């Protein structure tokens, strides 16, 4: 007997095929059959008039702080998101030294427009300094899947201290960052994020923007060792710079055998031609065998600003 049957829903499975009515069968916490008429089950959910689809993966989130006090990541879960990827834009809650928390939190709050009171009330730092500790703390109370990135900026802060926002790293410091990245990946990080655009509360470039190309290359080599992903925030406001980043990602992907993704790629009437040129560069890279994936918004741009 099945554990669960979701009965008579309109199944949209993500394959691109038209939706079809049928049942979804679950046993032992796993989907064992999709479509057709399922047998008896301990529990039956009537999905008549509803769509049954796989949970959505949101590849670019900043739920890092919110997950500490909201295990459901509202409102994402209400829209069908069952997997979130935090740690984007070079920022993650770990690894981070105790004396770096204030600097990090002000940087994170500025970029995410998060009130200080909300951050301070929700993030208790009970996990200490390490990435594995943060994941263990999340696992105590979490309702969805979390595939976290480790932030390049916090790697630099951990290894270089205040110098992370002053200069390029030395060879020894790059080696220390590479070792720390390995620890984070072994603890459960799925990749590394870096940013070429973000600033802190004093309008200084975030630490990842001070890295020389050799540093990102060395960290990408570690990603290749662990079959992990590289995410970048590129200069999305400039088509030429975006194309250059696509080409840089292609080289890193081919050299180290990694999957890379850049975000955001905004599409609008104003930059239709620019997006077409970027996508042409992506297709050229992929034809060479590189794994370069832009992240594109799913709706028209309606970003609001306050003064």
pLDDT of residue 291: 99
Q: How confident is the model at residue 302 (pLDDT cuts 50, 70, 90)?
A: low
Q: Look at residues 235, 259, 241, 229 and name the one whose alpha carbon lies nearest to residue 152.
A: 229
Is this structure's pTM higher than 0.85?
yes
From residue 244, give the alpha-carbon distance in Å to each of 127, 140, 228, 234, 274. Answer: 39, 42, 22, 10, 13
Q: Look at residues 225, 305, 302 and name the one whose alpha carbon lies nearest to residue 268.
A: 302
Cα–Cα–Cα angle for 109, 110, 113, rounded to 5 degrees: 70
Two tokens at 165? 């926002």
Which residue is it, tokens 């890279």? 285
Q: Strand, helix or coil at 277? A: helix
Mean pLDDT of 239-259: 98
Domains of the chain from N-terminus onward:
2-52 (2.30.40.10), 56-233 (3.20.20.140)
Mean pLDDT of 98-119: 94
Two tokens at 55? 């949970």
Q: How confident is the model at residue 161 (pLDDT cuts 50, 70, 90)?
A: very high
25-46 per-position pLDDT tens digit: 999 999 999 999 999 999 999 9
Mean pLDDT of 125-150: 97
3-state helix, strand, coil in the chain (%, to 5): 40, 20, 40
Question: Three-state SS across 224-237?
Answer: HHCCCEEEEECCCC
Q: How confident is the model at residue 147 (pLDDT cuts 50, 70, 90)?
A: very high
Could you give the residue ranges of the DSSP H alpha helices within 123-233? 131-139, 152-160, 171-187, 213-225
For the chain, the C-alpha Rg in angstroms (whole number) is 21
Q: How confident is the model at residue 51 (pLDDT cuts 50, 70, 90)?
A: very high
* Spatial separation of the C-alpha atoms in residues 147 and 190, rounded to whole Å: 6
Mean pLDDT of 280-287: 98
């Amino acid at each position: 007997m099945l554990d669960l049957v979701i009965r008579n829903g309109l199944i949209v499975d993500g394959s691109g095929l038209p939706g079809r009515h049928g049942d979804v069968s679950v046993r032992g916490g796993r989907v064992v059959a999709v479509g057709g008429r399922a047998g008896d089950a301990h529990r039956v959910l009537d999905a008549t008039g509803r769509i049954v689809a796989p949970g959505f993966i949101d590849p670019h989130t900043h739920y890092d702080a919110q997950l500490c006090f909201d295990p459901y990541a509202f409102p994402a879960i209400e829209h069908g998101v069952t997997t979130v990827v935090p740690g984007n834009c070079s920022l993650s809650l770990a690894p981070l030294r105790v004396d770096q928390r204030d600097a990090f939190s002000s940087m994170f709050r500025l970029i995410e427009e998060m009130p200080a009171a909300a951050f301070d009330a929700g993030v208790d730092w009970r996990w200490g300094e390490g990435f594995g500790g943060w994941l263990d703390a999340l696992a105590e109370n979490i309702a969805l899947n979390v595939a976290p990135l480790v932030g390049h900026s916090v790697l630099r802060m951990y290894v270089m201290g205040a110098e992370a926002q002053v200069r390029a790293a030395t060879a020894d410091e790059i080696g220390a960052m590479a070792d720390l990245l390995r620890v984070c990946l072994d603890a459960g990080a799925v990749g590394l994020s870096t940013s070429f655009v973000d600033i802190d509360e004093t309008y200084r470039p975030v630490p990842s923007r001070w890295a020389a190309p050799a540093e990102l290359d060395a960290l990408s080599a570690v990603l290749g060792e662990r079959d992990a992903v590289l995410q970048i925030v590129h200069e999305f406001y400039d088509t030429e710079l975006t194309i250059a980043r696509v080409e840089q990602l292609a080289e890193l992907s081919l050299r180290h055998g990694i999957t890379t993704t850049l975000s955001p790629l905004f599409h609008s009437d104003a930059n239709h031609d620019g997006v077409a040129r970027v996508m042409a560069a992506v297709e050229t890279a992929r034809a060479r065998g590189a794994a370069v994936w832009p992240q594109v918004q799913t709706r028209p741009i309606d970003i609001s600003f306050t003064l």
